[in-house]
Amino acid sequence: MCGIFAVFGLGGPAAASASSTPVQQSPGDAFRERAVALSKRIRHRGPDWSGVKVAGSSILCHERLAIVGVDSGAQPLTNADESVILSVNGEIYNHLTLRKSLREPHNFKTHSDCEVILYLYEENGPNFVHLLDGMFSFVLYDRKKDLYLAARDHIGITTLYQGWRSSDRSVWFASEMKSLHDECDRIIAFPPGHIYNSATKQTTRYYNPTWYSHVDRGIPSKADEYKPNTEQQDKEMYTALRTALERAVKKRLMSEVPYGVLLSGGLDSSLIASIAMRMRMKELEESEEDDDIKSAISSVAAWPRLHSFSIGLEGSPDLKAARRVADFLKTVHHEYTFTVQDGIDAISDVIWHLETYDVTTVRASTPMWLLSRKIKAMGVKMVLSGEGSDEIFAGYLYFHSAPSPQSLHHECISRIQNLHTSDCLRANKSTMAWGLEARVPFLDKAFLDVAMSQVPACHKATQQAPYHHRIEKHVLRAAFDDKDDPYLPDDILWRQKEQFSDGVGYSWIDGLKDTAERCVTDEEFASRAETFPHDPPTTKEAYWYRRVFEKHFPQRACLESVVRWIPRRDWGCSEDPSGRAQKAHNAAYVAPQAPAAEKHKAGDSIEKSSAKKVKG
């Protein structure tokens, strides 16, 4: 991933027309020094190289983090006659397949996985973004047509902001808001799965899977929401989940630089680490994989040992569990500890990088931000991470309170559609603050389709008919419960969810609340609605984060992109996003989490339908 910055229509229509005369300096050239300074604000995202292209009243900048095409992939990229300019942040996992699909011969200038976007545009116009399989945000400018496009990946794994300046009606784009807030009158988070076309001035959705419509169509219906799978359907479901996730991990091994895995010791990160280890140790079967998968797996040979990374307070639940997983998988494990004071000292910097005041995001991002600095210091540029699973499989403990399978399924869809405001934002900005790229296999498009279309909503519910699963994410655990060739130790595979901000050590959140009590007076909190009339904070901790946010980003335009993550209060859940605040957390320590009989029944059912096993 990288950092992108672009402005179109500098100086207004009159300036754009005047800039076509050869004797006059173009608005883009006049703005170049300022553009470089604004782009430099996100250079932490791409410390390896910087690039600028000026085209009349438009300018495109790029801050590069070199991971694929290291020797030749500097941006902005251009086509053969330099009439089309492209600035991209992201990775295109199917770039080799897309190259082969091109109808005309093209002279590729680099080994970048992103260059294929130029020629897809040349051959298809704006109607190509749905073909891309990856995580990306890009801006593209066509000089001949004076047309520009901007697009963001299907879920918003990468960050992208759009801004407008009324003085000259210019349109701005950047990977982070900090490049825009001093110049723009309005700023929004560019919507995931959409493309903007300057010719129509419309932002349209290109990613529209069938399960997005389930809310409007009332799927599952009240008549079907408690309908269980047949035994055969369960076998096919488990196999499909396992196959899709393994393939998602495989394609994300595409890298020419050292990489590792983030390992919290929870189910999600542990599964990703386990699959990555298996993929690295598996002898590639040429007949089973396409060119993109072959390329990804062949690159791992240069880095024969998989490194894993974890962080927590001394004695935290996550550190202990991560150590157990690392020993089981035989990764080269790196464990770091921090103190509550270390985290508190970092809060201001974390909020500056995150560009949000959401309590959940700040709590969880701070340890990740600290860990990312340690990882980058080791020379690692890319990590695999487990974001997205909780939204897909109803993993947050407040989901235990869902009133029905239909309600649960619709809440999962809503959470996935808003990942760009929370977990994706955290994973992207906490890591990219230090020039570290995080890849998230659970948010693979094909895996999403399997998990959201083939898994019945009632199969994701906890302690509800017809399955009465005793622990969240049962189907994911069961899909990888292979007793002959275990992916994970049993106590990890069936470990209860700990939200990252809890798992790093319970005293972390307690310390944040105590600090907020000391730094926000009762008088200040009582007048919070007057101080912050837009979205006033509801706790002293939230007040503290909001005050820091507005110190960094005082413009009102900066508030529009912030969304607060809170559980469903209409389900009777606590507003506090900590997993410990939910009733299911304490209840799990009163009753067994997953009875052996239930686990083994699930495991037995998938063993019979397992595809060929891979020895790790």
Q: Give me the active site residues, please.
A: 2
**What is the Cα–Cα distance from 367 to 508, expressed in whole angstroms?**
10
Over its C-alpha atoms, the chain yields an Rg (Å, rounded) of: 24
SS3 275: helix
Query: Cα angle at 611 between 605 and 616, to 5 degrees?
Result: 105
Dihedrals φ, ψ of 297, to 5°?
A: -75, -35
* Residue closest to 42 by CA, chosen among 189, 212, 179, 209: 179
* Residue closest to 451 by CA, chosen among 169, 146, 238, 281: 238
Residue 337, amino acid: T
Joined together, the tokens standing for residue 416 give 């996935």
Residues 334, 374 contacting (CB under 8 angstroms): yes
Interior/surface letters 142-173, b for 16+ CB within 10 angstroms, e for the rest: bbeebbbbbbbbbbbbbbbbbbbbeebebbbb
Query: Cα angle at 190 between 187 and 193, to 5 degrees?
Result: 170
Residues 375, 547 contacting (CB under 8 angstroms): no
Residues 27, 15 contacting (CB under 8 angstroms): yes
Residues 115, 108 contacting (CB under 8 angstroms): yes
Dihedrals φ, ψ of 446, to 5°?
A: -65, -40
**What is the Cα–Cα distance from 196 to 152, expressed in whole angstroms?**
9
Residue 513, amino acid: K
Joined together, the tokens standing for residue 585 give 């957390």
Residue written as token pair 């394609």: 251
**What is the Cα–Cα distance from 209 to 509, expressed in whole angstroms?**
37
Strands 134-142 and 84-92: antiparallel
**What is the Cα–Cα distance from 445 to 434, expressed in whole angstroms?**
27
Strands 332-337 and 307-312: parallel
**What is the Cα–Cα distance from 129 to 523, expressed in whole angstroms?**
52
Cα 176 off chain centre by: 14
Joined together, the tokens standing for residue 490 give 């049993």
* DSSP code for 168: T
**Greatest alpha-carbon span in the chain:** 82
**What is the Cα–Cα distance from 472 to 488, expressed in whole angstroms?**
17
Residues 386, 440 contacting (CB under 8 angstroms): yes
Whole-number Cα distances in Å, 415 to 389, 390, 410: 11, 9, 9
Beta partners for residue 87, in sequence order: 139
Q: Is 394 left (phi over 0), alpha (psi -120 to 50) or beta?
A: left
Joined together, the tokens standing for residue 390 give 């909780």
* Residue closest to 460 by CA, chosen among 526, 537, 408, 534: 408
* DSSP code for 191: P
